[in-house]
Amino acid sequence: MNEFRYFPLVSTDTSDNHKVPMFSSNDERQVAKNNKTYLEEFLPGKYRLHQQKDFFKTFSITCPHCFKEMQCISPADAYNINAIFICADCSIEQL
Ligand SMILES: [Zn+2]
């Protein structure tokens, strides 16, 4: 069974350009209730970004596993408001 994991995100400074994950949870309802922004890990090293507003705002995000900066491989658009991020290092075993 593939269990998704959720990572609430916090900004590291007031500019709001960089976010880091705080902890992981598999309770999406709880995470979504308490956090405006969070990641959903739908495959190892691959994340869907959830935001309550400002869907098209972009920022960099640190990988929850290796703490390197992740890549946005699919920015939010009018058809899909959830941008997709991958960690080049942590998603390699999936290929
Ligand atoms: Zn990583």
pLDDT of amino acid 54 = 79
Judge whether 88 and 71 are in contact, CB under 8 Å: yes
Residue 52 confidence (pLDDT): 87
pLDDT tens for 16-63 read: 889 999 999 999 999 999 999 999 999 999 999 999 887 788 789 999
Number of domains within the chain:
1
Q: 38 CA distance to ligand 1 centroid (A)?
A: 16
In this predicted model, what pLDDT tens digit does every residue of 62-89 receive, in sequence order? 999 999 999 999 999 888 899 999 999 9
Q: Which of 29, 18, 17, 27 is nearest to 63 (CA)?
A: 18
C-alpha 69 to ligand 1 mean position (Å): 8
Q: Is the pLDDT of residue 93 over 70?
A: no
Neighbours of ion ligand 1 (CB under 5 A): 63, 65-66, 87, 89-90
Name the token pair of 94. 């999936």
What distance, in Å, lies between the first and last C-alpha atoms of the chain? Answer: 19
Residue 62 identity = T
Q: Is 51 helix (H, G, I), strand (E, B) or coil?
A: strand
Q: 62 is in which domain, residue-wise?
A: 5-93
